[in-house]
Homo-oligomer: A and B are copies of this chain.
């Protein structure tokens, strides 16, 4: 089963929006993680985007200017760190649609999340459903059940918002920090 876009021309726009809003959701997470760090609650960082550098110029001493480079596929996930003595690892995603499509996450990222969970990590996917203005955390094992059914069998290729609420947990909105997702992590894992 596949959700069709109401208008084919929206497809391009959609990609752009996800990228743009993705940055905003990312900023919310980054600010929240900064808050946690300053309060000595948790040390969680976004990994830099991997970039393949091809050419570097040195217009001045000690000043390297990269003049040719390309984005690479990330080996792992967006965020990891330590919380309450445990390794925490998650991938942050955003969708403007009524469902989150599995095409927006790499299979090796899912493998990574499953592997670290098996080794004792707190491991999940956190999705911002822009249309509903809700952020939902789904533990990787629960996420994988649907993913496997959709990708490796004949199931749905996406997670609908309603389904996400059912298998995951909504992160309540806040002010300080902006998105107190570790409170939700406490409920889910501690």
Residues of A in contact with B (beta carbons under 8 Å apart): 37, 40, 42-43, 45, 47-51, 53, 64-72, 74-76, 80-87, 89, 112, 115-116, 119-121
User: Among the listed B68, B69, B115, which residue makes an inter-chain contact with A43, where contact means beta carbons less than 8 Å apart?
Assistant: B115
Cross-chain contact A120 with B82 (CB below 8 angstroms): yes
Cross-chain contact A87 with B76 (CB below 8 angstroms): no
Known: A51-B48, A82-B119, A115-B43. A65 touches B75 (CB 8 A): no
Task: Determine the residue in chain B with the shortest Cβ distance to A52.
Answer: B66
A84 surroundings in chain B (CB, below 8 A): 119-120
Copies assembled: 2
Cross-chain contact A112 with B53 (CB below 8 angstroms): no
A82 surroundings in chain B (CB, below 8 A): 87, 89, 116, 119-121
Task: Determine the residue in chain B with the shortest Cβ distance to A15.
Answer: B62
Complexed CA–CA distance, A48 and B66 (Å) = 15
Complexed CA–CA distance, A89 and B43 (Å) = 11
14 residue pairs from A and B, CB less than 8 Å apart = A37-B115, A40-B115, A43-B112, A48-B48, A48-B50, A51-B53, A64-B70, A66-B70, A67-B68, A80-B81, A82-B87, A85-B87, A85-B119, A85-B120
Cross-chain contact B68 with A65 (CB below 8 angstroms): yes
Complexed CA–CA distance, A63 and B130 (Å) = 27
A115 surroundings in chain B (CB, below 8 A): 37, 40, 43
- A84 shortest CB reach to chain B, Å: 8
A74 surroundings in chain B (CB, below 8 A): 48
- A148 shortest CB reach to chain B, Å: 20
- A11 shortest CB reach to chain B, Å: 13
